[in-house]
Structure 1
């Protein structure tokens, strides 16, 4: 794969602001484990190799178990995820693949049963953020692993 353009260099101020937005999410009401699962699952759905590579490495650095990462595509059948994690995974899937008629009330109520209003709002911003990054990195074919050293992802020892 060859990168098309470097969108960071072409639009540095926009990149900086979007990165600031994403960085703010680290202080949100959503725990790191769920943020990692959300980023990985959205990147899987969208087919973003760069983001999938990055977020798997981040999750491993944060202590996520390898088997849970492998089970993410089949989270509905897996016994490795808590009800709260399942709700977050359902939310990321519905917001990443928006249905024609919006978010079903039953799904909303199931997810709302696991998250406070503040948490659900913060989770939605997490989903928005990763979907934006996926779109930029897919559009410009950012090479997976190309920024590992810069982002400290080489510490995951997954190369």
Structure 2
């Protein structure tokens, strides 16, 4: 896809009741309070990178910046394994994000699951998996319909991130 790709359609206008349910699902995960906001942003950014979702990547980088994430860490998300900027919990979440975003034929290894389980209690791990499910759903919709990055910045207050 080139940088001249045009949006295909406004999916929110086509089936607003389905969009509303996905928004409710996403908000329920946030309101559960089982995942720290900055960790949620890292998960959303990594899944969006892997899925090639420009709209979501743009949105979640701006949200992370607004919530106090350091710029260098944002630049390091794609190289998190080599970066010293992420702690064990963040690395476990990023590894699980990658594994669930690009599910291997044999699923999630016991070793990867055990590392995640060391870092997260049962509710946190469940919320993390639901968070990964949610961002993958958003990515797929926005990739399918080529939602233009930045188009909702004003509505969501993302223009205040100072990233243009």
Paired residue for 1:21, among 25, 34, 40?
25
1:19 offset after TM fit, Å? Answer: 0.4
**Which ranges of structure 2 fall in alignment gaps of 5 or more residues?**
none
1:148 offset after TM fit, Å? Answer: 0.5
**2:106 counterpart of 1:101:** yes
1:26 offset after TM fit, Å? Answer: 1.2
**2:53 counterpart of 1:45:** no
**Which ranges of structure 1 fall in alignment gaps of 5 or more residues?**
none
Query: How many residues are aligned here?
Result: 159
Secondary structure in structure 1 of the residue aligned to 2:119: coil
1:127 offset after TM fit, Å? Answer: 0.1
For 2:110 and 2:30, how far apart are their aligned partners in 1?
28
1:75 is aligned to: 80
**2:122 counterpart of 1:110:** no
1:33 offset after TM fit, Å? Answer: 0.9
For 2:137 and 2:102, how far apart are their aligned partners in 1?
13
For 2:49 and 2:12, how far apart are their aligned partners in 1?
23
2:135 is aligned to: 130
**2:36 counterpart of 1:35:** no
Paired residue for 1:9, among 5, 8, 13?
13
For 1:74 and 1:17, how far apart are their aligned partners in 2?
33
For 1:70 and 1:60, how far apart are their aligned partners in 2?
11
TM, length-normalised to structure 1 = 0.98
For 2:158 and 2:29, how far apart are their aligned partners in 1?
19
CA RMSD of aligned residues (A): 0.6
TM, length-normalised to structure 2 = 0.95
Secondary structure in structure 2 of the residue aligned to 1:113: helix
| Range with bigger deviation, 19-28 or 70-79 | 19-28
For 2:43 and 2:76, how far apart are their aligned partners in 1?
13
For 1:145 and 1:151, how far apart are their aligned partners in 2?
10
Paired residue for 1:120, among 116, 125, 128?
125
